[in-house]
Amino acid sequence: MPEKVVKTEAEWRQRLSPEEYRVLREAGTERPGTGEYVDTKTTGVYRCRACGAELFRSDTKFDSHCGWPSFWSPLAADRVQLIEDRSLGMTRTEVRCARCDSHLGHVFEGEGYGTPTDQRFCINSVSLTLEPSEST
């Protein structure tokens, strides 16, 4: 993982749109089914919208029908931080970018999806940018 990205909240506000800031820096959530990558099948790498770190590959993306892009694994374990989240009266696991500490979404386990890890990284589209693979 490249060097940690550290910015003041004022610098993040300048760099990000209000919706990006709300989700990435304030741990907000976009409305289900509204994100640009929910149904995307494009081959490529998904990067953190705040700092550009490579986080997920399209070959780990799957249709979970939950309203957000879902992945069964990050690109590498060191690309994300998993943090216990006790907000909203429940215990969940928050997923953050390990490089800039931006909120990406949550990860869930044991839901019975036919994936190699039995995990669903439920990630906000607004937290990501997709870098399509070059055609050969």
Instruction: For residue 71, give the amino acid letter.
Output: F
* Residues with catalytic function: 122
For residue 25, give every residue at least 6 positions away whose Cβ sits within 8 Å of its Cβ, in sequence order, or none. 9, 12, 16, 50, 102, 103
- Separation CA 118–CA 71 (nearest Å): 10
Residues 119, 125, 95, 50, CA torsion sign: positive
Q: How far apart are CA 36 and CA 113, in angstroms?
A: 23
Contact yes or no for 71/121 (Cβ under 8 A): yes
